[in-house]
Amino acid sequence: MVEDLCFHLHDLVQNSAAAGANNISVTISDQTAKDIITMTVEDDGKGMDRRTLVKVQDPFFTSKNFKKVGLGIPLLKATAQSCRGDFRISSRVGHGTKVRARLQKSHVDCPPLGDLRETLLSLLVGFDMINIRFTYQSEKGEFALASEEIRGQVGDLHFSHPEIQRFLKGYIHEGLARVLVTLA
């Protein structure tokens, strides 16, 4: 298993989608001067009660009945904590969930960012029916994108349509190229 930050991002968005979210907001804040990278995923899915919230941070809990263990959240928590960062999860039943992981970029255990462009593209295409708001911030500037706005531009076509995928790919590549800073 390749454990880069995009792998975690993908898992968090997948969790939000599985929780029935209609809106998912993803923020990556890459602060070179402060040596911190922060990843936040917030959704309006079904949420979790307090007991579940404690349990999901335990590697042996999952609500997927075909799996014995859920690893996404415990792994991200352990990774964040092992690189002088922190991990927070808050949730309200019927309202949604917010997860935030912060990591010290220069720490030897800090995973690389991974392929953010491809990850974002696959999330937009894979979760076509969900409104995903994505923001990446660095000292170079900000790149933001909302699937709702893109949908308004492409009309009835699905994001999986080859032409739309090509458009999305170009848009993401160009937007991120301006602001992306690679991990130390």
Ligand X SMILES: Nc1ncnc2c1ncn2[C@@H]1O[C@H](COP(=O)(O)OP(=O)(O)OP(=O)(O)O)[C@@H](O)[C@H]1O
β-strand pairing of 141-146 with 36-43: unpaired
Measure CA of the first residue to CA of the last residue in the chain; give whole Å: 22
Chosen residue from 56, 103, 110, 168 binding ligand X by CB under 6 A = 56
Taking the C-alpha atoms of residue 41 and residue 27, their distance in angstroms, rounded to an integer, is: 7
Which residues sit opposite 23 in a β-bridge?
A: 131
CB of 76 or CB of 172, closer to Mg ion: 76
Chosen residue from 13, 15, 39, 110 binding Mg ion by CB under 5 A = 15
Residue 39 tokens read as 């990843």
Q: Which stretch binds ligand X (CB under 6 A): 59-67, 105-113, 145-153, 160-168?
A: 59-67
Restricted to residues 71-130, the positions that interact with ligand X (CB under 6 A) are 71-74, 97
Question: x/- binding map, residues 26-65, to Mg ion, per CB under 5 A?
Answer: ----------------------------------------
CB of 75 or CB of 176, closer to ligand X: 75
Quick count: other Cβ atoms within 10 Å of Cβ 179? 15
Restricted to residues 29-48, the positions that interact with ligand X (CB under 6 A) are 43, 45-48
Chosen residue from 45, 47, 72, 85 binding Mg ion by CB under 5 A = 72
> Which residues contribute to the site for ligand X (CB under 6 A)?
11, 15-16, 19, 43, 45-48, 56, 61-64, 67, 70-74, 97
Task: Give residues in contact with Mg ion (CB under 5 A).
Answer: 11, 15, 72
